[in-house]
Chain A
Amino acid sequence: MEDFLIQPFLLGISTGIFCFTYCVPFIAPYLVSEERKLAKNFKVILEFILGRLGGYILFGAIFGYLGEKISNQAVNLILIISLMVLAVVLIFYALGLLKPKGIFCSSKYIKFREKSPLLMGFLMGINICPPFLMSLAYVFSLHSVFKGIIYFLMFFLGTTLYFLPVTFLGFLGKMKEFRLIARIAGLIVGFAFLTYGIYYIIRGLTLFHAI
């Protein structure tokens, strides 16, 4: 029992800083590019975390069910595509295309913009970080959707502790210099990962391991 409860939680605690590091280039520009109150920033982070949770649970269910049947190529394809979609979302956001009065000026796109932390969190949740990727061999051996979900959930809880303090990064958004720089950062980061994703697919999908 402890193998899929305590172990992944402790793994999340011990490697959570790496997972957090992987999310920072995406969440930081988003947080800082708008002036928001602390409570709103906290809501953004919560939505991001919830989105991550959704991504983790989905992956846990898939890995737990498919086990070894899922090929590494498929895993890497999912990871890199989610990374590219995430990059595109960030680019759109940085360009202001997700504004209420942007080119997508209808109510459904306003809802999309408001929900973009959820979407970003979900895409980051799918893009599982290297320390966790290494424990997948064990998840494969569980051959259980339930155990796979629980394993991913416990890991997620362990890593989430590192995300809460980043709420305060939003204070930088009160300064217009930072808001502008954050959008520029979002653009650069978005294009960098989008380009990397294209290169990754062209040169062939292959698994990376933890640093």
Chain B
Amino acid sequence: MKKFFAILFLILIVGLAGYLIFTREKGAKEANNAEDFYRAKFFEKLSGNMVQCGLCPNRCILSRGQIGLCKARKNIDGELYSLNYGNVAAQHVDPIEKKPFFHFLPGAKAYSISTTGCNMRCSFCQNWDISQVFPWEVETTKMTPEQVVNDALQSGSEVIAFTYNEPIVYYEYVYDVARLAKEKGLRTVVVSNGYINLEPLRELLPYIDAYKVDLKAFKEEFYQKFTGGHLAPVLETIKTIKNSGVWLEIVNLLIPGENESKEEIREMAKWIKENVGDDVPLHFSAFHPEYKLQNLPSTPSETIIKARQVAMEEGLKFVYTGNIIYPEGESTYCPGSKEIAIERRGYMIQANNLVDGKCLDGEVIPGIWK
């Protein structure tokens, strides 16, 4: 009996060693077969088989086999590859208002997809389970751009939304899907942190109809402490999108004690008005404990309502509230007559009084209405 168990012990230990060698080797082969991945569009080759990614301000310098901060790009034999091209981690049909877009095709269905990874590491991320992981840590579905577009058409959606995780990190996939979507008559929207270099942004914008940027705060310290990124590149992205003519909306998530001071909101509103105009919709959204900030309380409704008031005092015409129950902050008003242009409850349109994007008195409300 002892001999039997002793032999079993031997088999166990040797078998374990063999299994470890097998998995190491299998993993090495799978992780470094360039044919399995999609060559990245923006990178520079450096000496010693190193590369520098040019997609976002992180500008990761990677040696052979290294993966970027976004967990979505890898140096394979001196070239940069996207690890998550075509690997769809989430797909759902959402109302466009959920993104949120309030001045873009009201009531439209948005076929929403995502992959994995992110070039920031926000402590309050609500989609951290797909944004802060490597592609192999999440179950994904392989979908070609053609399949995405066909699926979107079959779902009856008018829009394809690149959302949930950060679309920038699957740039090439966004680009290919968006180009095809335009050919098939679909609109495209990007829901993003805005942390992208200008060259790739400018190349993508012709295929995007609307862009929502998460302006996480208006202080550099907040960006460094809570996101791992920087404020200035996001502001450049916002200006570039506006100048390109692509429809722009901005969201600011207010976190208690961190970025909800009146002074900061005032500064942000002033900057928006001076740099991109007073008619860019701004959404203030309430924080709820999530990911690494579960110790903080939810943002009180009064804070969100007050933020809206401050922003409107600074001259912004279309300021909305989100994640709270406040009907006045969810609806669009004609700035001149103060009449309700579009009445909303949450994501649902209750009434749309616009005619060809105009109020009854003829005032034009900026946006894309059809």
Contacts and interface: CB of A to CB of B under 8 A. Distances in A.
Decide whether A and B assemble into one complex.
Answer: yes
Interface of A: 2, 21-22, 24-25, 28-29, 32, 68, 70-73, 76, 130, 134, 137-138, 141, 172, 175, 177-178, 180-182, 184-185, 188-189, 192-193, 196, 206-211
Given A32-B9, A138-B69, A185-B9, A208 B20 contact: no
A137 B6 contact: no
Q: 3 nearest interchain CB pairs?
A: A207-B65, A25-B17, A72-B65
Given A185-B9, A206-B28, A210-B136, A24 B2 contact: no
Given A32-B9, A72-B63, A178-B6, A185 B14 contact: yes
Contacts, number: 110
22 contacts: A68-B63, A73-B64, A130-B27, A134-B67, A138-B69, A172-B9, A177-B6, A180-B6, A184-B10, A185-B10, A185-B13, A185-B14, A192-B17, A192-B21, A196-B21, A196-B24, A206-B32, A209-B28, A210-B27, A210-B134, A210-B136, A211-B27
Contact of B62 (A32, A68, A73, A178): A68
Given A177-B2, A208-B24, A208-B27, A28 B13 contact: yes
Interface residues of B, number: 40
Interface string B4-16: 0111011001101
B336 interface: no
A196 B28 CA distance: 13
A76 B65 CA distance: 10
Interface string B105-136: 00000000000000000000000000000101
Nearest to B28: A208
B229 to A, nearest CB: 12
Nearest to A79: B24
A188 B11 CA distance: 11
B14 A175 contact: no
B129 to A, nearest CB: 14
Contacts of A193: 17, 21
A184 B48 CA distance: 43
Q: Is the interface of B mostly helix, strand, loop or mixed?
A: helix
B23 interface: yes
B13 A25 contact: yes
Given A71-B63, A177-B2, 6 more contacts: A25-B14, A25-B17, A71-B50, A72-B63, A137-B66, A210-B134
A68 B69 CA distance: 12
A21 B21 CA distance: 12
A138 B228 CA distance: 11
A22 B66 contact: no
A178 B13 CA distance: 12
B3 interface: yes
Contacts of A71: 48, 50, 63-64
Contacts of A208: 24-25, 27-28, 31
B262 interface: no
Contacts of A68: 60-63, 66
A25 B9 CA distance: 11
Given A175-B2, A196-B21, A209-B136, A182 B9 contact: yes
A209 B64 CA distance: 13
Contact of A137 (B17, B20, B30, B69): B69
Interface in B181-205: none
Contacts of B75: 72
B18 interface: yes
Contacts of A130: 24, 27
Nearest to A87: B17
A73 B68 CA distance: 16
Contacts of A22: 20
Contact of A207 (B31, B69, B134): B31
Nearest to A169: B9
A72 B75 CA distance: 10
Contacts of A172: 9
B63 A137 contact: no
A122 to B, nearest CB: 19
Contact of B17 (A138, A188, A206, A210): A188
A21 B14 CA distance: 12
A118 B67 CA distance: 32
Contacts of A180: 6
B292 interface: yes
Contacts of A32: 9
Given A2-B292, A137-B68, A137-B69, A24 B16 contact: yes
Contacts of B2: 175, 177-178
B7 to A, nearest CB: 7
A150 B292 CA distance: 20
Given A134-B134, A189-B17, A209-B136, A175 B6 contact: yes
A29 B13 CA distance: 8
Nearest to B123: A2
Interface string B74-105: 01000000000000000000000000000000
Contacts of B28: 206-209
Contacts of A134: 67, 134
Q: Which of B7, B67, B68, B69 gathers most chain A CB within 10 Å?
A: B67
Nearest to A180: B6
